[in-house]
Structure 1
């Protein structure tokens, strides 16, 4: 290709980006930040008394931050930003904290959770049974139900999918069997073979009288779907909502993404896990080598919790009255103890409970032999570092599988900064040689597992809407561990020598980015 042709193509590409929807939104946000900086600079030069007052308020804000309830890492990052950018950092912090949008959404979600409470009742016999089986797990069950309203279920079959292709195949089978309703909630949806195959079934089901509701995240699907895609779905008869659609102004709501992946069919089966509705998740498109992802399907009583999770989110911005009873799962009368116990749970940035992290802490703190982990990201707070290293130092085999080909270079650079401390404590870290690990899996002691959407990073653990399922004494746990061992065969173990061989600028870049890890 000639140099002039290359320049023309580059200019066209830049023009397309700048004047695209995402380009216009980005420029609008950058403009707002620039105005903030210019305003503070103007005060400093021409209105020194007002600027002095601003610095006084800044000191009060820092004192408030130090004494406030919350994760120390977030407080440290905010204080760093305030000190690095006098005036601007403080104004930005206040802007984020006083925005009404987040408070309104928080109130609506809390109201929805109260409304669904009658349909999330705990069977006392199940709690008694899990206490007899393993008292430590009964404590987790007690916490998840009493504090958050997520019951423990028996009579729930679990099917584990070791790859996106396997889940996709089962999804098509189950969707074709739908008779009453289909609920879909996904972070990323992209037009292609996977989504088009599903959409064909949804359109057919709508024509046959099946109720279909489809919800996707506005930022997750910003570059993968047209801006009016929800309207296109409505024209096909599919009820559709966009969660947290991106707007051209700074907003805290845009920071709280709907990262959940939920599919519920007739209240009979429910899917969750790491797999979005895009072709790379089923390896029809290669982006970062082989894409390793996982999911589970529940069938039975536990599906009801996922039904209520979906309806709560769906109705958070709805003025209509929901007939929840219409979507109830018929609970089994007897116990099938061979199926063990399942606790579906959701995590919200607004409930003041770090549910996903608490489940992971529980597994690390109560393991007797091992905890095996698959995660795409490793951006840890002090509590998680302490828990991982304490478990390893106590003789528990702690093994983490990470990607070898990352999807985000900056997240990978930050993850590497934790390797040395973890390895020195006895935590074993492996990287998946064929490509990218997107699975979010914890498995321990051949009897306990957690599978869902929650990564080991600040965003998943603190900022996003997430979901998962805690599984105990179910035979499928053995398949999850078997998949872990099979995946391990395709990995290489990260040695201390490999960690020490990193270039100085890569180390420096990772450590600098780590300062802002809570925002990544």
Structure 2
């Protein structure tokens, strides 16, 4: 009996020592106080599982190894070619010197509103990316149209194809794209593909990859979880295709058939992508090149020089700018972009996101805007592919409604679009969800448009989507039982971790 008591006492002391180690690690991680409290509660209330979750999802492994790996790559050659944000750790050291005059010249010619110039300056100061001019664009609100255009552009590629997707499937759509890529590779087109290590884990079969390799199509996994298991929390959520250095496809759509058919769970899939012809493709190409280098590949930067020399003048001049961020970014630039859009708005704000889990600062800014007389409309997925994030997201709706913010839940299939726009001139389409994970942990990328025509089109689509959405009412939440409120409050504790 004494041996049993001694064993229990020893195990308790061992557990206490381990718990103290974890608590110390969490406190020293310099996370946001709310996130810190969430992790402390997780390891305390769910001891073993919580500690494992923190090891895989909470530790900032990037500060120890990921940034060091990125610093070892060579990107000084790009600095002399174009202004971009290839380097996400302190990029101003590489691209920020002597470029302010060029930005001032661009702003003088664009003649934009003062509030718009503030956003351009914000992105420039955090990432050193310049606004650029583009000849043409087309916005797609369905996978059918978006992938039809993508396949057509792939078929007409002459020089290079660079594709990067969080999820890439070897399904019917993936097979068709593979056939096109193999045919273009045989024609001598350079092709490079990046799959996320987690998002595309087990979604591409071996035969598919062998056929790509045999044809000379290069592909790499960004942070392959078989090699970087402890870093599976850092996901490359970007989606882009750059063709011949002049055509860009980007937005919320991964490369999977469900974006066309709705898949097994939904009748349809509502997302937003954009096709751009112009200099925006070069900026995305620079970010692709960074991700390719950080995945262990090599990149011929001479292609930048060729594309820049051969690029056409943008007659229609649609001004755009790219914003990208990740766990190794010096600044949470996309979050700052959203913040600036909210605080700049004078009349109205439109937000579409499948997952709405804002941090405290963004939540307060939205409420302040609405209480100041700005019409704020938020649309999220009424039918979700993630039960937990869907449940947590709904816990924010009551206080939004109390601030006179209109909240809609899209019911015609799954809403996966990630857009924000305000007033008349500024809008954005990208990969960033309205949640802490996208703003602070994932590798994300958004296209920003300083164009009244694009703003108007996105606004028109929002109103169209409202026809298939349920407008939430405050009475629904007021009448909820105390047990429902209690369970919702419990789920909300984990919001900073999602």
| Shared fold, TM over 0.5 | yes
Q: CA deviation at 1:191?
A: 2.4
Structure 1 segment 104-503 matched on structure 2, within 5 A: 104-110=65-71, 111=73, 116-121=78-83, 123-124=102-103, 125-130=105-110, 132-226=111-205, 230-247=209-226, 251=230, 253-283=231-261, 285-318=263-296, 320=298, 322-328=299-305, 329-330=307-308, 336=315, 338-502=316-480
CA separation in 1, counterparts of 2:376 and 2:16? 52
Deviations for 1:1-24, whole angstroms, at most 9, x for unmatched residues?
A: xxxxxxxxxxxxxxxxxxxxxxxx
User: 1:306: Cα distance to partner?
Assistant: 0.3
Shift of 1:147: 2.6
Contact 2:57/2:232 (CA < 8 Å) preserved in 1? no
Cα distance in 2 for partners of 1:353, 1:263 equals 25
- Give the distance between the partners of 1:87 and 1:199, measured in 2 at CA: 43
Name which of structure 1's ranges 419-428 and 507-516 shifts more when overlaid on structure 2: 507-516
Partner of 1:430, secondary structure, is strand
Alignment length, in residue pairs?
Answer: 473
TM-score if structure 1 supplies the norm length? 0.83
Does the 8 A contact of 1:447 with 1:477 survive in 2? yes
- Distance in 2 of aligned mates of 1:511 and 1:84: 15
Please give the per-residue CA displacement for 1:318-346, whole angstroms capped at 9, x wherever unaligned: 264x321313432768674x534201121
1:126–1:154 contact (8 Å) kept in structure 2? no
SS in 2 for 1:255: coil
Shift in alpha-carbon separation, 1:494–1:210, aligned structure 2, 3 A: same
* Alpha-carbon distance in 1 for matches of 2:381, 2:61: 39
**Counterpart of 1:25?**
none
The Cα of 1:99 is off from its aligned counterpart by: 7.5
Once the two structures are TM-superposed, the CA of residue 284 in structure 1 deviates from its matched residue by 5.9
For residues 98 and 380 of structure 1, the distance between their equivalents in structure 2, rounded to whole angstroms, comes to 21
Q: Cα offset for 1:109?
A: 3.3
Q: CA deviation at 1:151?
A: 1.8
For structure 2, the residue ranges without an aligned partner over 5 or more in a row are 84-98
Aligned to 1:75: 36
1:112 shift after superposition:
5.5
Deviation at residue 55 of structure 1 after TM alignment: 6.0
Contact 1:112/1:312 (8 A) holds in 2:
no
Distance 2:52 2:186 in 1: 53
Against the structure 1 CA distance between its residues 44 and 391, is the aligned structure 2 distance closer, same or farther, given a 3 Å change threshold?
farther
1:128 shift after superposition: 3.2
Deviation at 1:177, TM superposition (A): 1.3
TM-score by length of 2: 0.86
Distance of 1:224 and 1:287 partners within structure 2: 17
Contact kept? 2:262, 2:268, Cα under 8 Å: no
**1:117 Cα deviation (Å)?**
3.0
The CA deviation at 1:517 is: 1.9
In 1, Cα distance between equivalents of 2:237 and 2:485: 30
On the 8 A contact 2:134/2:276 being kept in 1, the answer is: no
* Contact 1:448–1:471 (CA under 8 A) maintained in structure 2: yes
Q: Distance in 1 between matches of 2:352 and 2:278?
A: 27
Aligned to 1:64: 28
Deviations 1:73-104 (CA, angstroms, capped at 9, x unpaired): 32221222344367996797578777766633
The alignment yields a C-alpha RMSD, in angstroms, of 3.0
Give SS of 2:427's match. strand
CA-CA distance at 1:460 after TM superposition = 1.1
Deviations along 1:217-239, one digit per CA (max 9) or x if unpaired, are: 12212242226754442123210
1:171, CA displacement in angstroms?
Answer: 0.6
Deviations 1:122-147 (A, max 9, x none): 643213335x4222332322232233
CA–CA separation in structure 2 for the residues paired with 1:116 and 1:216: 23
Taking a change above 3 Å as real, the CA distance of residues 180 and 46 of structure 1, as seen in their structure-2 partners, is same
